[in-house]
Amino acid sequence: MEEWVGQLWHRFITRRARREHPEAAVTLEAVRREVAVLFRALGGDPGLRVEAANETAYGARRRWLERIAGTGTHVELAWRDEETLRLPPRIAWFESPALNRDLYLWLAALAAGSDPCVGEADWLRRNARATAETLARYPGLRPRYARLVAAHLAQRPDPEGLPGAEAAQERAIRAALQEPVAAAAPLPPASRPPWPVPLWLHPHPPGMSEASAAPDAAEDGASEEADAARSLESDKRRRARRVEMPDGRDGLLAFRLESLFSRAEYVPVDRPTEEGMDADAARALEDLETLSLARDTSRTGARLRFDLDLPPEAHDDLRLGAGIPLPEWDWKRQQLVPDRCRLQRMLARDAEPTALPPRLRAQARRVRALFELFRPRRLWHNRQADGIEPDLDAYLRFLTDRLRGTTPTDVPLYREFRNLERDLSCLLLADLSLSTDSWVNNDRRVIDVIRDSLFLFSEALAATGDRFALYGFSSRRRDHVRFHHIKGFDEPWGDRVRGRIQAIRPGYYTRMGAAIRYATRLLEKESSSQRLLLILTDGKPNDLDRYEGRYGIEDTRMAVREAAQQGIQPFCVTIDEQARDYLPYLFGAERWLLVRNAAELPRKLPLLYARLTA
């Protein structure tokens, strides 16, 4: 009975203390594409991803109902950093869904026009400056902004009911919202921060510097062993900080047991790690504002576990020559760093000549029959100035015109037997990273789908007679980019190459920029008039070091641009459902394709090639 009454009271007081309007809520997922298009159309950095922001503690004065209910301590505001534009996952500030949607669009425009998070030190002045610049640059936003300001001012606390310092802050904010051009004075100091302003960006965006320091430590070489447990899916970007692993000797744990106050030695026992996944882990993750991460070198149990150490030299693939130094694009310094990476050409050690798998033979026959239509044929070319024999039709027309009294000059009277040739070369670059070891369905993994795609793709191109090459790539930091040789341009298609395709297996990570640069070098040596670089992947660029995130995206984009400047046509085929967030930025709007059902990739890849080279 007491629990039932407590639940009723909790629901009642929470509902009365609530400031938002859940019935009019608009989610980020519903407007994500519209917001991203507007942000980039108004000049926002095209490399930024649109992600959901997490709640942060704010500390503003709360109403007495909020203090009773224990709510109003956290707020979801927008901000941007070097890699992301972060917007609230749900906006329910206003009673109208149209206003909540307008707030999403206004925040995207505000972040695109200028960066309110840098420059001016004072939060009020930098947001007022950004608002004034945005309205001056895009006057069409003024009616939307006026509606948002009118609705928000009605929600804000009355300055007459606040203490002196907080009242001064509130008046300054109201004046800056109504007339952002005239907001020259900084925010007056007070013991509490003002009530949040959802029309502005976050006053103190959560810093990610501590979390971003992790790749550097990994690059210098710490423990190579990784334990992977079941992931908790969430679209929020979590704030994190690095801490030292407790040694079990310094901590004291104080607790109250009834009326007895005791103390005990702290022991660093991680029961969820040793005994399995905590059923309330997702709920605990939602409650934490900052995650503390420590590196533990001890072995612990996990749901999934894999070793990232390089295999011994005796069991690894064969190395073809010494490593090849390659440059890499540093987007922060906006320059190409020479010899930043080292690419190692590899050849499968255990590859044995093999025939086409029986399960693919019927499909391969259909593909060959279709693509034989593209094979060069010998045809007569009529009405030529020179040729091996007279063109009788052209000669009869010439005699007829002469009898009618008109004798045209330079009449082509010959015909010639010529070969119709397809002057093109194609290099297919397959992603062989560790993520390809995941399962597409109950029977096949991603690497199996890639293997079948290479088989059928090669059967198709062998039928056309086009020059083609097959390579795979994976990486483990910048000094070990593995470039797997499957088939060169001058090698014939046969059982030996099929054996290399059969021997491919998942590798490490996806340092795509270095692989694209070396593939570009190979294609530059081809004399064909049309050169196609076809990239097959299942995810975005990443690696153990700082290649994760914006760095890898920008380096890959620069490598694609370098290939296009050499007259090469890059095209990406992916099975990553999140590809729409980054592939248009990497390859352009029309130079990539998402295959939603990965099992259909072997069938669709040859048809895509036919469309690209028609």
Domain boundaries, the chain: 2-182, 209-306, 320-372+422-612, 377-419
* The predicted structure's pLDDT at residue 212: 42
Token representation of residue 590 = 């029309």
Dmax of the chain from CA atoms? Answer: 126
Angstrom distance (rounded) from CA 341 to CA 345: 13
N-terminal to C-terminal alpha carbon distance within the chain: 75
| pLDDT exceeds cutoff 60 at 68 | yes
State CA 359 to chain mean position distance.
34
Query: CA nearest 384: which of 345, 343, 418, 336?
Result: 418
* The predicted structure's pLDDT at residue 229: 38
Q: Hey, how many other C-beta atoms are within 10 angstroms of the C-beta on 228?
A: 10
Q: Each residue of 568-593: pLDDT tens digit?
A: 999 999 999 888 889 999 999 899 99
The DSSP letter of residue 447 is H
449 in the Ramachandran plot: left (φ > 0), alpha (ψ -120 to 50) or beta?
alpha
Percent of the chain with pLDDT over 90: 44
Of 3.50.50.60, 3.40.1190.20, 3.40.50.410, 2.102.10.10, the CATH number of 320-372+422-612 is 3.40.50.410
Q: Spell out the SS3 assignment of 342-383.
A: EEEEEECCCCCCCCCCHHHHHHHHHHHHHHHHHCCCEEEEEE
Q: What is the mean pLDDT of residues 382-405?
A: 77
User: What's the Cα-to-Cα distance from 47 to each of 43, 331, 553, 574, rounded to whole Å?
Assistant: 11, 11, 8, 19
pTM beyond cutoff 0.75: no
Angstrom distance (rounded) from CA 207 to CA 160: 35
| pLDDT exceeds cutoff 80 at 272 | no
| pLDDT exceeds cutoff 90 at 152 | yes
CA angle at residue 374 from 370 to 376, to 5 degrees? 140
| pLDDT exceeds cutoff 60 at 264 | no
Listed in sequence order, the DSSP H helices in 504-600 are 512-524, 550-565, 583-587
Q: Which residues contact 377 (CB under 8 A, 6 or more apart)?
A: 419, 420
Containing H/E element for 300?
Answer: none
Angstrom distance (rounded) from CA 360 to CA 407: 62
Angstrom distance (rounded) from CA 8 to CA 82: 45
Query: CA nearest 103: which of 51, 54, 141?
Result: 141
Angstrom distance (rounded) from CA 223 to CA 297: 7
CA angle at residue 585 from 32 to 458, to 5 degrees? 115
Q: Each residue of 22-51: pLDDT tens digit?
A: 899 999 999 998 999 999 899 888 888 888
Q: Each residue of 231-263: pLDDT tens digit?
A: 444 545 555 555 565 655 555 555 554 444 444
Angstrom distance (rounded) from CA 188 to CA 190: 7
Query: To the nearest whole number, what is the mean pLDDT of the chain?
Result: 81
- What are the φ and ψ backbone dihedral angles of 229, each rounded to 5 degrees? -110, 175
